[in-house]
Amino acid sequence: MVLEQWMWWVLTLFFVVFTFYWADIRLLWVTIATAVVGALLWHTPELPIIYQLMIAGLIIAAGILITDTFLKRGRDASQQGEEDLPTEDDYIGEVFTLEKPIKNGNGSIEFRGLILRIRGRDMDAGAKVRIIAADGIDRTLCLVEKVKDSET
């Protein structure tokens, strides 16, 4: 079996599409490796297939190893404080005093450093509200109801 230069370029185009489609940095190394081997074959057409595969494999392995090492370090640094953030179980059922009024059904409150967007009936600042549900993708949109004075 012979892999020619144009075959490596077709593989490069194929992997470019999938790199963008899946947005995976590791696929970028496969794309780079196929482009490098295609360029080498353009310069040296008689390069044996075993060397072509070895060069591609080394570029892919080294790139993935380097990328995962640096990305893991960056992920660890960015995720250090994530376990300290409250979850929806922490704030559903909690009673808050509004510092800012709810206008047009929208407002916000602060809970342990997290700004929660709230929805409910319009209320003035100083009113007491209870979070009854969390909504939205990031679960920081909360539905609230006014707390009666007898409930507090």
- Tell me, yes or no, whether 136 and 73 share the same domain: no
* Residue 140: CATH number of its domain: 2.40.50.140
User: What's the distance, Cα to Cα, between the start and end of the chain in Å?
Assistant: 80
Q: How far apart are CA 106 and CA 123, in angstroms?
A: 10
CB 130 within 8 A of CB 92: no
Q: For residue range 11-65, list pLDDT tens digits in order.
A: 999 999 988 888 888 899 999 999 999 999 999 999 999 999 999 999 999 999 9
Q: Which domain holds residue 60?
A: 5-78
Q: Show the DSSP H helices in the chain as ranges.
A: 5-22, 25-43, 49-78, 88-91
Residues 71 and 103 in one domain: no
User: Which whole-number Å values give the CA distances from 117 to 8, 47, 139, 148, in the listed order?
Assistant: 52, 62, 9, 21
pTM, two decimal places: 0.49
pLDDT (tens digit per residue) in 107-152: 988 887 778 888 999 999 999 999 888 876 666 788 889 988 766 5
Q: 84 near 109, Cβ under 8 Å?
A: no
